[in-house]
Structure 1
């Protein structure tokens, strides 16, 4: 044991020392960067380049100081870097001479100094990074000579006359243009860093020298300012800038827009400065003078430059992302490395101290491993419980929604059971034919409810896995043909082309007759439901070696893409106006086909029709096998016999338009309403609107759930049309929720009755609404010029009608036809509208209006009787006097003097 201690203790000490050393292996360098100013994009681009390059060197940090254009401030900042003993100083001098001494001081103190962009008057610096400003000036002079064809006047605009870039660029430019005797420098001006005053100065110079042909600006920012000045003066001058930055309203962008003739590329040198600094800090070979590449960017190469810069920008963004990722990974690695070292040391210490308890430690580790496995198992169970809980919540929501939908499906047959039953109970005398019809209707809808319940029970069996096939070998051709023949009467009634197409006379096959019967009956019933009168439904039976296909095709309304994809979804409700029994039947049909190891598919296109394809494996009974027979599914398909309706020509005072898509309920209500009202019945809102405009009825009854346009939309359309806005609307619906009643009221419905409803309640609602409308008419008929007694929408119509009469008051040929044409209505519609609102015909209404106008003129003016007659549209004063006396029992003169 003692020997073990003697071996492990030195090992632990060595590892600890190694861990401490490793964490400090890489030295961190500190760089101080003194920037003369950061007021322009060129300087900002330089800093961005430096920061981008620094992302590759995690052991270097840089502090940036901004002198804001002050040499004195920059001297103090550099002195502060010297005091802090930074590892390297980067300087972009504000001015050459004032900064020379402080840079020499840093250099003499042993701190490497990298000068960027501008030099000082001394050679005491470690390295210089920047473009040759004299070369830039020379390039500008050469390009000026080219675009001026060797002749022209030039104006130079610079910034900071004492800075080395300005001096070198100006000298290089002058040296070059002096070689061309026909190039003349008209004026050169340098800013004192007061942009507004400087712009005014440039404005004045250009104004005084309109013969200037070209302007050389020492940077693109000044070039843009010069371009704005020229534009304000209405001048088009050739302008050369310097910098060639990428970005909106920068040099390259201005050249591409034609604002500048050219710009001289002046690299910022940010990346190069950092690269040089890294070489210096790492004691690697470096160049003292690092001259950056420059070139002229004009209209010929600006496109290439833009593309290159765009690519570079994308690469830079990618580098930033990668650098960020590397930095994160490095941080993670460093953290994990340190953790690893500490863990190793800790483990060795634990091993050193735990050799005596080695056995116990091993047992503890085993226990920890077991606990870890248990924890993982618990977490996995927790995740599984949450997943199952989520599925259960979703299933609960789906089932609640399904029960809501199926409850809605029950309401219509319940209405057709309860309403006739209540009607029979309330009768004082019994009509055998009517009673028989009502009982047949009740019987039919009771069977419909029974089928819905059966379908629900069968679905429950399928869900529980208790549904089994009871197969037998039958002739599939005669089986399908018999089912199709059941629909012959219905097809004849609806004028539908129903055909069964099969190339075989017989096809023995094993299948469950009851379940396949339900599948075919359900799909063919749906085809009839959504195929218009005069359409077609074709059932085809095809076969190959291994399977048979039954196709049910129609040219009905079809399905949308979403409806088609979810046609067999039990809980899905696509078209809000489609019977929910359809989804239940299709879901059950799919389950029955699946039990046969088959498949059911649907192809459909909106407005073009639907095809259901049932694919079943072709199986025949082998000799010796026992057949299990079962009777075909017995369907209740009793059609109620309509009672004989009298052909009497008797008419009633009021007309009702009834819109209900359920044929049985439509027939029942029609029979009941015909006893007291003229009833016009239709099955869709679109046809209902046509009948409403044709008849202008006294009342409208509409179901809410209708194909295409629903009852809410129809009600809103009725109330928004001045031809029909006066007509009361009663909505019938299986939607009994308060939200639906509020929606109906908002649409303008006068009454809202939920299914199943009481027939007597409906009749009393109709009676009450018609009586209220009649009372309103009588009240208004006695107050023709005071229409405030009626509702706002009708008051607006009558005011417009009276204004139209007054506009044409002196027109003796004013007629009902002319007024109806002006209002955009037919003569009949106008007649019924006015009659419904005022209890007067249009002619009497016009006459009463003229009479009231004449009375006012007689009392309030000195006009003669003849003038009043002509002004109120009478072309004969004698007839006016006769008309006036008939209405008032006084002549116009007697009225005036009374």
Structure 2
């Protein structure tokens, strides 16, 4: 079996364990039962973390893990890792500090590698540092290197065994037992980053790991630099030691609180039947749902039905989620539909690949069904809010994304070309847009909140306003110039859409 498919199946099953478990914990009020479920959740999260580490280690060994060097703020990434262990430091009564002067400095580093190394070193430090001791992170520059240093005052490592702890599966009695997978991975990630790892340790005094990341561009190959040196979305690598307590959300809508009408139509494209069914069961109370086993089935559904949002798995047979997203966003009639991609891949390049083809969100498996639920609600409610609260603005001005502008620019162009054509019909409009009448109506309604007829009226009346402001033509002349066959019908439409009579609008600029 392909290793990627194996990891995909593992994460699907973990999602089907962790997500229902989180739902169950919200409705358990007995302390004993809640603590038992918390132990199960903790073990499932640890298993997820181990699977992710194993996949990364496998990619390193096979030469599949590539550097993506960016020039950005390393402090923010390390700070996020630092903060994820705050809860544990309080729980274990450990003095916990982070020192740096690099808050505002951009540096060269691979974001995913930096986060992985920081989390792994912190995990080891917390595991082997006793209550009342201390753990400190330092981030500084030294000899053209960025240095990440994690120090603890824990149990320490014997001198004669310090080199061996980087060997895979080597174990030291009563010491760094977990190093087999962790510290071996850290060393390989440091080597991948053309860096150096230095260990200083004494028994009962603690350990200090210093990671040196080269800051000269010549230290890296050209293909190791990420093309887009932008502020990418941070790839959060889950830490098995972060605070994972599932808090009961009293504000979560119950069955009696849920909006009584459906919030839109969601297309779920997922090849795993169990996971697809689980997502459907949990979203069915809020949305109309359509299901597809692969990207091809999803595209066939999109030809027949209007959809408000697509949730798709990255890995599927026939047409995968990435290709599906690309085809959806390239199609003029579907590119306005938001697409959420579910994936087991945590690396930045996989996320960037999804965003490059137009994905609106990237959700890493295993995921919380509640997070997916509220992300979807927020996306659809935001779109609805935009449509409802900007009805007095012309469509081309209010839709500010590139893909929606292209749709509306073409629609505006067609109406503008026929601005004085009194016989211009919706049928002709649809033909010039290369759509059916119903498809054109659905697309304009989805993007602008307006029907095809309303859209045409607003384009025409916008031009009428411009002509009235110029003062060169009579109201009767303008009514024919913008495609109305009688001045009285023009006046009625003007009053409805603009809010005043044409003569009143003209008098604002040319008082009698």
- Normalising by structure 1, what TM-score? 0.30
1:422 partnered with 2:32: no
Q: Which residue of 2 aligns with 1:74?
A: none
Which of 667, 672, 693 pairs up with 2:277?
A: 667
Counterpart in 2 of 1:730?
340
Aligned runs of 1:265-280 on 2, under 5 Å? none
- SS of the counterpart of 2:340? strand
Give the structure 2 partner of residue 827 of structure 1.
437
Q: Please list the CA deviations of residues 432-467 of structure 1 after superposition, one character each: whole Å capped at 9, or x if unmatched.
A: xxxxxxxxxx9xxx9xx9xxx9xxxxxxxxxxxxxx
Query: What is the distance in 2 between the residues matched to 1:873 and 1:402?
Result: 62
**1:767 and 2:377 equivalent?**
yes
Q: Does 1:410 align with 2:20?
A: no
Q: Which has the larger radius of gyration?
A: 1
Deviations 1:84-128 (A, max 9, x none): xxxxxxxxxxxxxxxxxxxxxxxxxxxxxxxxxxxxxxxxxxxxx
Tell me: CA distance 1:402–1:874, structure 2 relative to 1, closer, same or farther (3 Å).
closer
- The reply to whether residue 797 of structure 1 matches residue 407 of structure 2 is yes
Deviation at 1:428, TM superposition (A): 7.5
Note the C-alpha offset of 1:888. Answer: 4.2
Q: Conserved in 1, the CA contact under 8 Å of 2:344 and 2:366? A: yes
Within 1, Cα distance between the matches of 2:441 and 2:404?
Answer: 15
Once the two structures are TM-superposed, the CA of residue 402 in structure 1 deviates from its matched residue by: 7.6
How far is 1:700 from its partner?
Answer: 0.5
C-alpha deviation, 1:845, in angstroms? 1.7
Offset from partner CA, 1:624-668 (integer Å, 9 cap, x none):
xxxxxxxxxxxxxxxxxxxxxxxxxx8623110111111111111
1:470-869 to 2 correspondences below 5 Å:
652-778=262-388, 780-784=390-394, 787=397, 789-869=399-479
> How far apart, CA to CA, are the structure 1 residues paired with 2:476 and 2:3?
78
Distance 2:293 2:331 in 1: 21
Q: How many residues align?
A: 283
CA change 1:665–1:405 in 2 (3 A) is: closer
Following the alignment from structure 1 to structure 2, what is the Cα–Cα distance between the partners of residues 875 and 403?
68
Deviations 1:12-53 (A, max 9, x none): xxxxxxxxxxxxxxxxxxxxxxxxxxxxxxxxxxxxxxxxxx
Query: Is 1:892 the equivalent of 2:495?
Result: no
Task: Call closer, same or farther: CA 1:426–1:814 in 2, change over 3 Å.
Answer: farther
What SS does the corresponding residue of 2:462 show, helix, strand or coil? helix
- Return 5+ residue gaps in structure 1 as ranges: 1-400, 430-441, 454-649
Q: Residues of 1 paired with 2:4 and 2:486: CA distance?
A: 72
In the aligned structure 1, how far is the partner of 2:354 from the partner of 2:392?
33
CA contact (8 A) 1:780 1:787 kept: no
User: Is 1:875 the counterpart of 2:485 in the alignment?
Assistant: yes
Change (3 A) 1:787 1:705: same
Separation (CA, whole Å) in 2 of partners of 1:404 and 1:838: 41
- In structure 2, distance between residues paired with 1:730 and 1:888: 38
- Deviation (angstroms), 1:410: 1.5
Q: CA deviation at 1:843?
A: 1.2
Q: Post-superposition shift, 1:890? A: 3.7
Counterpart contact for 2:422–2:485, Cα < 8 Å:
yes
Deviation of 1:887 after TM superposition, in Å, equals 3.7
State the structure with bigger RCO (CA 8 A, min sep 6), 1 or 2: 2
Separation (CA, whole Å) in 2 of partners of 1:801 and 1:408 = 42
RMSD between aligned residues: 2.9
The 1-side partners of 2:4 and 2:448 are apart by: 46
